[in-house]
Amino acid sequence: MANISTTNATIVTEENIEEKVVDALDTQVEIQQLATPVVNPHLVSTKAHNVTLRKGKDQDRRFFAIGDESIASGRLVHIILTKKYESFGELRTQRACAWLETEGYTLLSGGLRKEDLIAINEFLKMGGKVVIVLPQGFGTIRREVWNELKEYIEAGQMLLLSRFQWRENWSMERAKERNLHMAWLADAVVVSQCVSSQSAETHTWGGGGVSMIEAALAYQKPVFLPSLIKADQEVHQFIAKAQGVTMLPAVASIDETFQPLKETVPPPVEEPVWGEKEQAEAERRLDGYNTEE
């Protein structure tokens, strides 16, 4: 399957609201059509539905979902790569994805922008699984983007989640709320590159990456920061001093680099495969037990 195209991954904004409504209606019809029974029993339905997810001892949360909700039960790791990333940030993201997917973790992403798709495509091409929590309703996904997503949903590699109504569009408030839901779902957060944005009005430092880190720490989720990260000094100092942040060692081996994460959030244990050989052995032992006096 091909990568999801960065040129098509445009989230509809208020500037083209009329086009958004048309696309939303078209996409809704297509999702309903895809919800009809499929020939291949292994394909996952792409019908939008409600799911209730549980994370540890926290109170359950309900989401709108498209895809196999069991993907959300994996060990979810979010990788922060903010909009103003550099080539080293992209490389660090790809390196982290390669290790995480090999170890059996699931990628937790917050959207379909260019910086999001670097990690998403890396996971998908290796056969990994991805959970995407959108800061808007499903009806605002552009048709061309939906056409690229549905093959991964049907293949059981991708789960889309949202807490917003079908036609609710992106907004800053919804993006911040999305970060809180992602922090609740995440088992860990890895920072590849976090570049802050300065507001001319408030002269305060912030940005999506910082907001996500704050949300993760508020939920007491572990945050992992490369020791040689190149970022704005104010952001680096904020992250490094925060309680709950672990500095990843600067070593050549990728296994050594992510050993702190592996120790804090162990990878999922694979269930043993129960095939014909195991079934025959179980029946043999059962027969022996039944014939004993």
- Domains of the chain, each with CATH number or no CATH: 14-291 (3.40.50.450)
Per-residue pLDDT band at 66 (split at 50, 70, 90): very high
- Is 158 a residue whose pLDDT tops 80? yes
In Å, how far are 74, 75, 106, 151, 249 from 268, measured between CA atoms? 7, 6, 10, 25, 23
- With 0-12 / 13-18 / 19 or more C-beta atoms within 10 angstroms meaning exposed / middle / buried, residue 139 is buried
Q: Are strands 223-226 and 188-193 parallel, antiparallel or unpaired?
A: parallel
Calculate mean pLDDT across residues 216-227: 88
Q: How far apart are CA 140 and CA 135, in angstroms?
A: 10
Between 240 and 232, name the one with better pLDDT: 240
- Is 198 a residue whose pLDDT tops 60? no
pTM of the model: 0.77
Q: What is the pLDDT of residue 55?
A: 81
Buried residues in 211-231 as b, exposed as e (16+ CB within 10 A): bbbbbbbebebbbbbbeebeb
- Is 4 a residue whose pLDDT tops 50? yes
Q: What is the pLDDT of residue 235?
A: 63
Q: What is the pLDDT of residue 206?
A: 55
- Residues 159, 161, 167, 170: is their CA dihedral positive or negative? negative
Q: What is the pLDDT of residue 30?
A: 44
Calculate mean pLDDT across residues 40-49: 62
Range with top average pLDDT, 158-172, 216-230, 244-258, 259-273:
158-172
- Residues 201, 205, 209, 214: is their CA dihedral positive or negative? negative
Q: What is the pLDDT of residue 21?
A: 39
- Is 36 a residue whose pLDDT tops 60? no
117: helix, strand or coil: helix
Q: What is the pLDDT of residue 280?
A: 72
3-state helix, strand, coil in the chain (%, to 5): 45, 15, 40
Query: What is the overall mean pLDDT for the chain?
Result: 77
Report which of 102, 269, 263, 276 is spatially closest to residue 188, judged by C-alpha positions: 263
**φ, ψ (nearest 5 deg) of residue 46:** -105, 20
In Å, how far are 8, 17, 35, 259 from 76, measured between CA atoms? 26, 33, 27, 16
Angle at alpha carbon of residue 35, lines to 32 and 40, rounded to 5°:
150
Per-residue pLDDT band at 15 (split at 50, 70, 90): very low
Between 207 and 267, name the one with better pLDDT: 267
Model pLDDT for residues 79-122, shown as the tens digit of each residue: 998 887 788 889 889 999 999 999 999 999 998 888 899 999 99
In this predicted structure, which of 44-53, 176-185, 218-227, 255-264 has the lowest mean pLDDT? 44-53
